Amino acid sequence: MLQKIPARKISARGGRFAIIASRYNPRYVDAMLRAAKAEILRAGGRVQIVRVPGAYEIPVVATKLARAAHRAPGAPLAGIICLGVILRGATTHAQHIGEAVSNALVQIQIQYEVPVIHEVLLLENEQQAKERCLGRTHNRGTEAAQTALAMARVMAGL
């Protein structure tokens, strides 16, 4: 069951965040992107947005951003938010894409010590996408941004 997004007041203190968003399934991804960007800006953060063709292309961009941030300690990246929607079809293609993206994203955050927030959703149908991406009370973009803000605070405290 989906839970209502609690209102949180987390300050980004000028932190820099990247949002990588798929262009595939734009109705849903664009709604998550708008919500995530608004949440980071509301917290006082800076946002760099990178658009990619589909979910499968997200990890290579996340790797490049994380590597650049890792090599330039004076310009840290507080977090990378990855947004995409994969809808299951008649074949196992969606499952393969979802697993590949998930495995890659976890490796990137471990290797480069940059929080990588995984909101590349593998969904059964458009109804699930509507519930998770288009609502104000259940928008995964907002949740992703809140997680990025919280992880930035955790990482800064270590």
Burial 34-58 (b: 16+ CB within 10 A, else e): ebbbebbeebebebeeebbebbbbb
Is residue 55 within 8 A of residue 115, CB to CB? The reply is no
DSSP string, 57-80: GHHHHHHHHHHHHHH-TTS---EE
- In the set 93, 96, 118, 138, the catalytic residue is 93
Is residue 140 within 8 A of residue 32, CB to CB? The reply is yes
**Is 138 assigned a catalytic role?**
no
- Count of beta carbons in the 10 Å neighbourhood of residue 74: 4
* Identity of the residue numbered 66: A
Q: In the structure encoding, which two tokens stand for residue 107, read together? A: 């490796």
Active site (catalytic) residues: 93
